[in-house]
Amino acid sequence: MPKGVHKPKFLEQLEAFLQKELRSLDSTEMVPSEKRLQAFREVFEYLIEDFKTYKPLLSAIKHEYEMMLIHQRERIRDLEPLKAMLVTVSEQCEKKLFSMKQEEKSDMIDMRKENLKLQRTIEQLREDQVSLKVQVEKLQEEVGAEYLRYRNECDARKMLIADINELKYQQEDSKTSTDEEGEGKEDVTFLKLALKKAREDLDAKNYKLAKMESDYGDVVPRRDFEKLEAQCAKLQKDTEQFTSDHQKLMQEHNALLEVYNKVLEQRDQFSLDNDAMRRSATPRPRWDKCGQYVEGGPDRWNELSQNRTSDELVDVLLAEMTGQDVSQIQSGASTGAEYFDGQGTGPEVPRFLRFEGQVRNRRLGKRDTSLLIKDIWQEKAAHDAERSDLGEFLYTYLQRRFGIENMIIEWGYNLYDACNRYNHDPRIGLFYGILQKEVGIYISKRREGGSNMTPG
């Protein structure tokens, strides 16, 4: 503002009121808080009330801000149960992953053992197959050689039989010729030659027989060969089956490894999400601390909070703070009208309530009401030494504290309404009774120069 130009009186009053409210709420530091917001909200409302021309626009702006704040608070309240749910889901996932890991570990060990066993069996079968193949090749060679020897022997036998038949025919011819000649003599020379030839053939046959016995002594019979060949075919078939099973097991093993890797990735992701949620999660409230501040102490709070959920405990705490019934808060009923109707300006109306029109309802809490009443008693003890009407002094007190007529009337109506709602409290009820002139009051001065106010 330029030098030499004074601030408007209304602006100075608003600034003074704002500073006074901030000091009374201990919120002079520039730190976001509900108390500072409430003080600035009140100043803004007074500003709106003063500017009649811009009141609709400013009220709409304020209303939008209030709606957004309420919406954000509701979203925060809705997200709080999800945090606990995520913690539970994370723990369940960790347990499930651990159990799956243990099961997969045991299955992997069994599969590895089975795989090693099958590999050993396959190696043994391969060795047996190679040995059988070598034996078969050896037997085939021996059978071929034996077949050649058999053919040669068969040919030699046929030739020997032919020679024997020829000799036999020659002998018969010789006998016939000798009989015809009548000489009755045998050809000794021919017989000697035939005998010699027969002996030579016999020696040759014995030699061949001995040779065949020596050559074919270790030859496997055909029946045994066919039996071994059938066993070899069966082993080959089993080997092929084992190879196929091994390939299937390897495929299943690879599939299980892929599933295991995916589960590990999910486990790691869940672990990261769990850590993030733990860092950002809000701890559970300690409801037992409320017993230190609720009227009646911890015993009454234990009685009120017994067998109640967190939502119900919030309702009970709000009922204790506002002085309303718990059922009314649970039903969501409003705590009162937005405005009070003025009681008029007649002499029968207390001075601090004399007003025509509507007065805004601040919905004072029990704590604020108690603090305000305590400050009023202190001010009365310090500045009002004579016996006087409490209603008149209350108007003087509000005028001294706020200065603005609208605020005096507003705080007067709100204090009167709060005393009516919290009259079950002994101190507030006493103040309300004196204000209603149902109880008298006197001031007794203390020797030290101080004063003490007591009802009389």
For the segment 343-382, what is each residue's pLDDT rounded down to a tens digit? 888 888 888 888 888 888 888 888 888 898 998 888 888 8
Give the pLDDT of residue 251.
92
CA 388, chain centre distance (Å)? 69
Give the pLDDT of residue 368.
85
| Whole-angstrom distance, CA of residue 246 vs CA of residue 287 | 64
Residue ranges covered by each domain of the chain:
9-115, 338-446
* Tokens describing residue 360: 């805004």
Global pTM?
A: 0.33
User: H or E element: which one contains 172?
Assistant: helix 55-181
User: H or E element: which one contains 271?
Assistant: helix 222-280
- CA distances to 107, 282, 298, 373, 456 from 294, rounded to whole Å, are 60, 24, 8, 19, 29
* Tokens describing residue 325: 């019934």
Residues of the chain with pLDDT under 50: 2, 182-185, 442-456
| Whole-angstrom distance, CA of residue 214 vs CA of residue 218 | 8
Pure H helices in 281-338: 297-305, 310-322, 326-330
For the segment 164-206, what is each residue's pLDDT rounded down to a tens digit? 888 888 877 777 666 555 444 456 787 888 888 888 888 888 8
Give me the DSSP letters along 192-224: HHHHHHHHHHHHHHHHHHHHHHHHSTTPPPHHH
Give the pLDDT of residue 336.
58
Give the pLDDT of residue 187.
62
Give the pLDDT of residue 185.
47
Give the pLDDT of residue 449.
38
